[in-house]
Amino acid sequence: MSTAISAAAPTTLPLGKALNAGLRRALENDPKVVLLGEDIGKLGGVFRITDGLQKDFGPNRVIDTPLAESGIIGTAVGLAMRGYRPVCEIQFDGFIYPGFDQIVSQVAKLHYRTSGNVKMPITIRVPYGGGIGAIEHHSESPEGYFAATAGLRVVTCSNASDAQTMIQQAIASDDPVLFFEPKRRYWEKGQIDPAAETSPLHRARVVAPGTDVTVVAYGPLVTTALQAAKVAADEGRSVEVIDLRSISPLDVDTVAASVQRTGRLVITHEAPVFLGIGAEIAARIGERCFYHLEAPVARVGGFTVPYPPAKLEEHFLPDVDRILDAVDRTFTA
């Protein structure tokens, strides 16, 4: 068994490989960590995130399951009660719904329901979002459903360093964590920052400082937001980009501190705007920063339509231009 990442030497890895390294470390560090999901064994998962792990840790640690999402989550509940720390892989975002009841009725509530006697240290990994030209049910952003359920933590990584660190933090958490992986960023390389491990799982991070407007993004759109900030800078506008990282709990403090500096806020995510995470942030920033805001909070997200066919997704997904358009609106409002 080899550990791909050493804490001392900075390494560059694609986000997907960084997740694999994080999972490997978690399996090494705690014999109670078990992975379960469809095709995660010999195949290494359809995105190869679990590549090589069954070979090194055996079929009782990296378990190929029948094709049944409720079964995957429900058996994870029992394993957790037996003292294991299950990590479930849901193959694609749109496949999570058959497991929805086990997640929101059981995983989320058992700790509360049992007055804290039963812990649910379960991590549910979900490759999510669009931009890879997939067929239907393969490109959705269902994070809002889970963020709306008390008892769950919902996080998403946007870069290799966070991917490697956050997956380990999620597995180490005694709470259930929905871990959303931006599938279109799996192949994007990034440097693994050893210092990242000290950042708590629930904390948002300013990934690009700026003074004129705050853009909040998470998961796949952090890269897009950074690209927009660069274009804006060329046009003489200073954009501060925040990577939310955690969707539940929301780190409102970090966003509010930024808005108090910039006076303007744009929020972007792939999920439809209506009742999306952006709505929650806008409401809370309205409460906290009313007198600092120079303009209404702007949101850029998916439309109120089902995720469209691949040939239309470039119009559905927020891109640099739509983010810049929203930035402009906060200056002209």
Partner 1 sequence: MCPAATQSLSKDVPLFDTDEIVQLITETGQRRTHPDFSAWVEDIDLTELRALYEDLVVVRRIDAEATALQRQGELGLWAPLLGQEAAQVGSARALDPGDFVFASYREHGVAYCRDVDPTHMLRFWRGSTHSGWNPFDYNMTTPAIIVGAQALHATGYALGMQFDGSDGAAITYFGDGATSQGDISEAFGFAASFNAPVVFFCQNNQWAISEPVSLQSRVSIAARGRGFGVPSVRVDGNDVLAVIAVTRAALERAREGSGPTLIEAVTYRMGPHTTSDDPTRYRPAALDEEWKRKDPLDRIRALLDSAGAIDDTYLAAVQQRADDTAAALRRGCLETVEPEPMSLFDNVYAEPHPLVDEERRQFAAYLDSFEGTDA
The catalytic residue positions are 138
Return the biggest CA–CA distance within the chain.
Answer: 59
Nearer to partner 1, 38 or 212 (CB): 38
Whether 107 and 120 have beta carbons less than 8 Å apart is answered as yes
Whether 226 and 164 have beta carbons less than 8 Å apart is answered as no
Site string for partner 1, 188-217 (x = CB under 8 A): --------------x---------------
Contact call for residue 91 and partner 1 (CB under 8 A): no
180: helix, coil or strand? strand
Token pair, residue 159, equals 């870069």
Whether 241 and 266 have beta carbons less than 8 Å apart is answered as no
Contacting residue, 18, 35, 53, 76, with partner 1 by CB under 8 A: 76
Contacting residue, 14, 52, 98, 308, with partner 1 by CB under 8 A: 98
Measured distance CA(275)–CA(11) in Å, rounded = 39
Rg (CA), the chain: 19
Contact call for residue 81 and partner 1 (CB under 8 A): yes
Phi, psi values for residue 290, rounded to 5°: -50, -45
Measured distance CA(225)–CA(218) in Å, rounded = 9
Contacting residue, 11, 20, 54, 65, with partner 1 by CB under 8 A: 65
Site for partner 1 in 129-148 (CB under 8 A): none
Measured distance CA(196)–CA(111) in Å, rounded = 29
Contact call for residue 151 and partner 1 (CB under 8 A): yes
Nearer to partner 1, 147 or 324 (CB): 147
Applying CB under 8 A, the span of 22-30, 62-70, 89-97, 296-304 interacting with partner 1 comes to 62-70
Whether 169 and 201 have beta carbons less than 8 Å apart is answered as yes
Contacting residue, 115, 198, 304, 332, with partner 1 by CB under 8 A: 115
Contact call for residue 175 and partner 1 (CB under 8 A): yes
83: buried, middle or exposed (CB in 10 Å: 19+, 13-18, 0-12)? Answer: exposed
Size of the site for partner 1 (CB under 8 A): 50
Contacting residue, 116, 198, 291, 305, with partner 1 by CB under 8 A: 116
Token pair, residue 333, equals 């409002």
Whether 11 and 5 have beta carbons less than 8 Å apart is answered as yes
Site for partner 1 in 241-260 (CB under 8 A): 248-253
Contact call for residue 287 and partner 1 (CB under 8 A): no
Residues at the interface with partner 1 (CB under 8 A): 34, 60, 65-66, 68, 70-71, 73-84, 86, 98, 101-102, 105-106, 109, 111-121, 150-151, 153, 173-175, 202, 248-253
